Amino acid sequence: MRTPEVPRNTNSIQHMSEEIIKPEVAKAAEAATADAPAKQVDPQEFLENFDWEKYEEGIERVDDSKLKEFEDLVTENFVDTADNEVVEGKITHLTDREAIIDINAKSEGVISLNEFRYNPDLKVGDKVDVLIDIREDKNGQLVLSHRKARTIKAWERINNAFDKEEVVTGFVKCRTKGGMIVDVFGIEAFLPGSQIDVKPIRDYDAYVGKTMEFKVVKINQEFKNVVVSHKALIEADIEEQKKEIISQLEKGQVLEGIVKNITSYGVFIDLGGVDGLVHITDLSWSRINHPSEVVELDQKLNVVILDFDDNKSRIQLGLKQLEKHPWDALGDEIKVGDKVEGKVVVIADYGAFLEVAEGVEGLIHVSEMSWSTHLRSAQDFVNVGDKLEAVVLTLDREDRKMSLGLKQLTPDPWTDITSKYPVGSRHKGIVRNYTNFGVFVELEEGIDGLIYISDLSWTKKIKHPSEFCSVGDTLEVEVLELDVDGRKLSLGHKQTQENPWDKYEGEFAEGTTHTASISEIVDKGALVEFNADITAFIPQRHLEKEDGKKLVRGEEAEFKIIEFNKDYKRVVASHTAIFREAEQRNVRQQARKAASAADEAKPTLGDANEQLQALKDKMEAAKKK
């Protein structure tokens, strides 16, 4: 079959070929003259008597009025579609690649079979929507598009569904970033992941290939984007169920729900349109670290309503309340003084909780973990998960409290303390801690003693114990005092060594002189180190040299001990006393010499009489004159 060609000028019948215009005009003429008055020309008669060869060669001229009448018939009966206008066509022929479509126009059109892939049952006689894609290609052929026609029709249907809020059916084609691609009326719409269902979706691929109902929620006409939602349809149904469920809610009511979401602080339960929260503390009587230890996603379970707010929008649920409290099931055979076994479930600074039965815990205070009076953190004794044996110290079934002890499993080391650590005995201990006033030394587990800062060294002036020792150091100690009732032990470290001040008492006695250098200048004087143990203080006025200047740091000089106190470990020395003493000796020597000279020049009594007689003689001679 040869594909018909479209005339070059669709508005002038004069240029139509016989092959095209003859059958088409006849068809149009018959339709136009069915009800026309008898005086009109018969188109069939006109065509039979028309000499087409003479007309084409220009030999025979057609009357203009007849041509005008014929053109009017064609215009009235042939389809003349506008751009983007969808018309219905009929398939008249199918080839291997194309479909010939009659749209009641001046010629038939063609459409590639690729546009009908979605319809494998396409056959001659089927009616389809088409759009004129090209009115006249290079061969003068009318080219149609079924795909574009479907798109225009689809957009009309989508816009209509959006305006009227109608439900549409779509086919989920594939996954994409953030959601799914859905075919709705042949248009690809976007289904966000959050709009697939009311509950979080974990497997998107499970929806691919499904046909579902949707609601058009957004259309962007400029970018031709469509957003659909399946969740909106579910929410509409859920909202009705929710109203009914909320109206029937009562405290203590048991409902069946599905685990919707699991968080670190609890579990959200879907009660059929209404969500409730089971806090982590209401999941199990036992202590748990995360709700996933008890429940799983999509798990069905029964819960009890514990509480809700005024409008019932926040519902508090419980799971463990459906079971008997473990304390109520605790056997009567457990009593104070019994030994129990359990697992450490929680550790705090003040102690550890031991689960002796499911949901039943006892506290082991840190003070009950060791006989030592020097408290440490519970983590120094136990770890989470440890299986321990403990002794029941207190048991209150009404308040559901239990206190346990570890140290009670071993003998109290203070029982025979007087025989093991008598006053005056010497031992070795480990520095466990220190304060501003002393050092705590552990002699054995449970036996701690205190070394006061003044009992650390005979000679060193210690401002803080950390200057003398560190935690973990081993020190030799001597028991100074023992208080059994108060469980207190006073220790000394310096007492384990000879007191060097005993021998220094003679070496550095008052009046002895020693040579040393000024080691440090202080506010009221200076310090001089005579040896590793003896540091003397030089008052400011005793730093003056013979030339009137004062000693400076690092300057070596001779010093005299002017004070030595063994009890207070105090030594005071003077440089000025060295040359001042020499000066005093010189003064005393000169005084003695002067006294000796005076004794030698002293007159006798006879000499005095002679001098007196001579004086009288001079006076008498003067009178005579």
- Classify residue 252 as exposed, middle or buried by CB count within 10 Å of its CB (0-12, 13-18, 19+): exposed
Q: Are residues 277 and 315 in contact, defined by beta-carbon separation less than 8 angstroms?
A: yes
Other beta carbons within 10 angstroms of residue 152's beta carbon come to 16
* Pairing of β 401-405 and β 360-365: parallel
CB 508 within 8 A of CB 514: yes
| CA atoms within a 13 Å half-sphere pointing along the CA-CB vector of 567 | 0
Cα torsion through 330, 334, 335, 339, rounded to 10:
-130
pLDDT at 618 over 70: no
Rounded Cα distance, 110 and 98, in Å: 6
Reported as a pLDDT band with limits 50, 70 and 90, residue 34 is: very low
In degrees and rounded to multiples of 5, residue 16 shows phi and psi of -75, 145
Burial class from Cβ neighbours inside 10 Å (0-12, 13-18, 19+) for residue 502 reads: exposed
Mean pLDDT of the chain: 80
State the pLDDT at residue 433. 87
More confidently predicted of 242 and 121:
121
Average pLDDT over residues 333-343: 87
CA–CA distance, 16 with 20 (Å, rounded to integer) = 7
Tell me the three-class secondary structure of 5-20, residue by residue: CCCCCCCCHHHCCHHH
Which of 148, 201, 150 has the alpha carbon at shortest distance from 179? 201
Asked if pLDDT for residue 15 goes beyond 80, the answer is no
pLDDT at 5: 40
How far apart CA 498 and CA 24 sit, in angstroms, is 139
Q: Which of the residue ranges 76-85, 354-363, 367-376 has the most confident prediction, judged by mean pLDDT?
A: 354-363
Measure the CA dihedral 328/332/336/342, to 10°.
-60
Distance (Å, rounded) from C-alpha 438 to C-alpha 451? 5
- Please report where in the chains the tokens 């398939």 appear, as a residue: 91
Task: Please name which of 389, 381, 385 lies closest in space to residue 405, comparing C-alpha atoms.
Answer: 389
Q: Looking at the predicted structure, is the pLDDT value of residue 458 above 60?
A: yes
Q: What is the pTM of this model?
A: 0.42
Residue with more model confidence, 86 or 36: 86
Gap between the Cα atoms of 536 and 71, Å rounded: 138
Structure-token pair, residue 229: 């939602």
Alpha-carbon gap, residue 200 to 567, rounded angstroms: 83
Burial 286-296 (b: 16+ CB within 10 A, else e): beeeebeebbe
pLDDT band at 20 (very low <50, low <70, confident <90, very high): very low
In tens, the pLDDT along 490-532 reads 999 988 888 877 778 778 888 898 999 999 998 889 999 888 7
21 pLDDT exceeds 50?
no
Asked if residues 109 and 144 have their Cβ atoms less than 8 Å apart, the reply is yes
Residue 252 confidence (pLDDT): 87
Among 550-554, 595-599, 616-620, the range scoring the smallest mean pLDDT is 595-599
CA distance 158 to 220: 12
In angstroms, rounded to a whole number, what is the distance separating the alpha carbons of residues 292 and 282? 13
Higher pLDDT, 621 or 613: 613
pLDDT of 37 higher than 60 = no
Please report the pLDDT score of residue 620 as a whole number.
67
Q: Residues 38-50: pLDDT tens digits?
A: 445 555 565 556 6
H or E segment to which residue 154 belongs: helix 146-164
Q: What's the average model confidence in pLDDT over 375-392? A: 86
Determine phi and psi for 382, rounding to 5 degrees.
-135, 165
Strand-pair partners of 357: 360
CA distances 371 to 302, 411, 444, 514, Å, are 48, 9, 10, 54
Quickly tell me which residue has 């002293």 as its tokens. Answer: 602
Identify any residues that bridge with 492 across adjacent strands, giving them in sequence order: 478
Ranges of beta strands (E only) in 421-487 are 426-434, 438-444, 447-452, 474-483
- Ordered by where they begin, the domains of the chain are 1-78 (no CATH), 165-234 (2.40.50.140), 248-322 (2.40.50.140), 339-409 (2.40.50.140), 417-496 (2.40.50.140), 500-580 (2.40.50.140)
Say what percent of the chain tops pLDDT 90.
19
User: How does DSSP assign 123-134, residue by residue?
Assistant: -TT-EEEEEEEE
235 CB-contact burial (10 Å; exposed 0-12 / middle 13-18 / buried 19+): middle
Q: What is the per-residue pLDDT for 73? A: 57
Q: Give per-residue pLDDT as tens, 74-103.
A: 555 445 555 557 788 888 988 888 888 888
How close are the terminal C-alpha atoms of the chain, in Å? 204
pLDDT at 8: 35
Query: Smallest Cα–Cα separation from 546: which of 587, 518, 577, 510?
Result: 577
- Of residues 566 and 625, the one with the higher pLDDT is 566
CA angle 291, 296, 302 (to 5 degrees): 90
Question: CA-to-CA distance for 279 and 297, rounded, in angstroms?
Answer: 15
Question: Do the Cβ atoms of 151 and 187 come closer than 8 Å?
Answer: yes
Q: Which residue has the tokens 């009227």?
A: 164
Q: Would the CA dihedral through 330, 332, 336, 341 be positive or negative?
A: negative
Q: In this predicted model, what pLDDT tens digit does every residue of 275-291 receive, in sequence order?
A: 889 999 899 888 888 99
Residue 138: what pLDDT? 66
CA distances from 272 to 207, 215, 244, 266, 565 (A): 22, 21, 10, 19, 92
